[in-house]
Structure 1
Amino acid sequence: MQEDVTTQAHATVRAVDRALDILLCFGRSSGGLTLSEISKQVNLHKSTVYRLLTSLQVKGFVRRDPDSDKYFVGWSVLELLSGLHESDELSSLALPEMTRLRDRTGETVSLYVRVGRERLRIQAVDSQEPVRNVAIIGKTYPLYIGASGKVLLAFADSSVLEQVFQDASMPPDFDREDLLKQLAVIRRDGYATSIQERDTGAAAAAAPVFDKNHELVASLSVSGPVSRFTPVKMQEHIQAVKQSAVFLTKLLSR
C-alpha cells in the first residue's frame, strides 16, 4: 500500500514538473506555440502534452486560439505576476541604483536572476537614446550565452553547470571547454562582457550581486548597440557596473 502511495506521489511530481516545463516554453517565444512545437521543446509525446495543456487551460494558465490552433499564456499567469511585483523586494530595492547607472552610462540597465537553467529579467531601466536596447521585463534567456547569463553561471553551484550542459536546447557544436575557461576568468575578474553573442548588434557588460551570505542572487548588466557601446566604451563603463553591483550587495546585506 505504501509503495502505491509513493508511486502515485512520484507521478504527481513528474506531472507538475512537466506542466511547469510547458509554461516555461512560452517565455522563450514571442508568440503562440503549436502542440507540435511545445512537444518538441519539452521532449514529450503530443498526447502527454495535450493532456497537460488541457489541465493548464482549465486553470487559466494557457489559452488556445481556435483559428490558428496555437496556445498562448493565459490570464492566470498575470495574476501571479501582479503578486510577484508586490513582493519582489530585490527589483524594488535595485531600481534607484539602476536608474543612476543608466544615467551614468547612457545605456539600458537590466537585472537578472537565475530560474532553473535560464535567466529571467526582473527589472530594467531603458536607455533614453533614440537607438537603444529595449529590455522586456519577464523575458527569459539561456545561461550559457551573453554577459549576464555567464555571470549567473560562473558564480552558481557546479550542479547548475551540469544541468546547462545537459540542456537539449544547447547547440550540439557549442564549445563547452571554452565556456569553462570564460567562467573561470569571470570569477577571477568579477565581471563579464559579450559582443553580439545573443543578439546581433548588441553588446553588454555584467557583474554579480550577492546577499549577506555572499551567495549569488542576481546579475546586473548594461547593454547597448555595438555602434555606440564599443569595446573601448564598454571598458570605460565596467567599473561603474561593478560599483553598482557592490552597492546592491551592500543594500541586501543590511
Structure 2
Amino acid sequence: MQKSKSNLIQSVDRALQILECFSKKDNELGVTEIANRLDLHKSTTFGLLSTLESRGYLKQNLENGKYRLGLKLFELGKLVEEGMDLRASSFPYLKELVDKYDETAHLAICNGNQAVYIDKVEGESAIKMSSQLGRSVYMYCTGVGKAILAFMPEMDIDNIIQNTDFNQFTCNTITDPDKLRDELKEIRKREYCIDNEELEVGLRCVAAPIINYNGYPVGSISVSGPASRMSDEKLESIAKDLKRIVAKISETLGYKTEKYKNL
C-alpha cells in the first residue's frame, strides 16, 4: 500500500532529496546548486546540509565549500551488503540446526551498539518468540548480542558499555558493567555464549560470533528454546555445532581459521 504524501515529514524528505542530488557526474555540489535544483531557500538548504554533515552523511570540501557524500552512507551500504551475503550463506546452517534440535535459530548482525535479527528459522515445536526480523536487541542481555560484543576490540566494548542503559529484565540480567566484562572474557575463552533467562524468563539461548576478513564480529547465530528443554547438555551439544558452523561462515567472509575443522 502506497503511503500518502500527507504522511511525509517534509524536512526528512528534503534531506533525502539532497542526498539523491549527487551522482558520479555531480559528485560535489554547492549550497546554491542544491537550492536551485530543489527550489529551496539557501538558508533552509544550508541548515539541511549542516545537519547531514554533522551526522556523517555529507562531507564538505574546505577548499571550494562544496559537499560530497560522506562515509556514513558507505557504512550503511556495507551493512546492507554484509547482511544480504550473510543471509544467503547462513540460511542452510540455520535450517541444519533447526532440523537437528527442533528449536529456533536466529541470524543477527551488528548495528552500532545493538544487534539486529535478519533471519530466523523455527522448528515444529519451537515456542513463539518476540524476535521479529529487523528488531534491534541489546548487546548485554541477549545471546546474539553478547556473542558479538565479546569479540569486539576493547575500545568498542568500552564505548558500548558506556552508552548502554542497563535494564533489569529478569533476576539473571547482568546490569553491572564489571560483571559484564568478566562474562565477556569467559565467552572469548569458550568461543560461544549463553543467555540464561537474561532477557525473558523461561528462555535459554546459545550463540556464537561470525567474524569477517579483518577479524571483526559482524554477526552471530543463536539457537533458543524454553529452559525446560534447553538443558546444559543440550546447550553444549548445540555450542559444538555452532562453533563449527560460524567458522565455516566466517571463512566465506575472508576470515582465516583452522579451528573446528575436525568437529
Identity %: 25
Partner of 1:240: 241
Alignment counterpart, residue 108 of structure 1, candidates 100, 104, 110: 104
Deviation at 1:227, TM superposition (A): 1.1
Q: What amino acid sits opposite 1:199 in the alignment?
A: E
CA distance in 2, matches of 1:174, 1:131: 27
Alignment counterpart, residue 146 of structure 1, candidates 122, 127, 142: 142
Deviation at 1:134, TM superposition (A): 5.9
Q: What amino acid sits opposite 1:169 in the alignment?
A: D
The 5-angstrom pairing of residues 1-254 of structure 1 reads 11-13=50-52, 88-129=84-125, 131-133=127-129, 135-167=131-163, 169-171=165-167, 174-253=175-254
Q: 1:166 to 1:13 in 2, by over 3 A?
A: farther
Q: 1:130 to 1:140 in 2, by over 3 A?
A: closer
Deviation at 1:8, TM superposition (A): 6.0
CA distance in 1, matches of 2:54, 2:184: 34
Q: What amino acid sits opposite 2:184 in the alignment?
A: L
CA distance in 2, matches of 1:16, 1:220: 31
Is the CA contact 2:109–2:116 (under 8 Å) kept in the aligned structure 1?
yes
Deviation at 1:196, TM superposition (A): 0.7
Q: 1:123 to 1:166 in 2, by over 3 A?
A: same
CA distance in 1, matches of 2:148, 2:217: 7
1:196-221: CA deviation from partner (whole Å, max 9, x where unpaired): 10111110001111123332221111
Q: 1:252 to 1:16 in 2, by over 3 A?
A: closer
1:176-202: CA deviation from partner (whole Å, max 9, x where unpaired): 111111111111111001111011111
Partner of 1:55: none
Q: 1:86 to 1:198 in 2, by over 3 A?
A: closer
Is the CA contact 1:102–1:109 (under 8 Å) kept in the aligned structure 2?
yes
CA distance in 1, matches of 2:111, 2:105: 19
CA distance in 1, matches of 2:51, 2:91: 39
Q: What amino acid sits opposite 1:113 in the alignment?
A: I
TM-score, normalisation: structure 2:
0.61
TM-score, normalisation: structure 1:
0.63
CA distance in 1, matches of 2:154, 2:251: 25
Q: Which runs of 5+ in 2 are unaligned?
A: 1-45, 57-75, 169-173, 256-263
- SS at structure 2 position matched to 1:88: helix
Partner of 2:32: none
CA distance in 2, matches of 1:102, 1:85: 25
Q: CA RMSD in A?
A: 3.1
Deviation at 1:143, TM superposition (A): 0.7
CA distance in 2, matches of 1:230, 1:146: 18
Q: Which runs of 5+ in 1 are unaligned?
A: 1-6, 18-79
CA distance in 2, matches of 1:154, 1:85: 23
For the pair shown, the structure with the greater C-alpha radius of gyration is 2
Q: How many residues in Structure 1 have an aligned counterpart in Structure 2?
A: 184
Deviation at 1:148, TM superposition (A): 1.5
Structure with the higher helix share, 1 or 2: 1
- SS at structure 1 position matched to 2:175: coil
Is the CA contact 1:109–1:223 (under 8 Å) kept in the aligned structure 2?
yes
Q: 1:13 to 1:161 in 2, by over 3 A?
A: farther
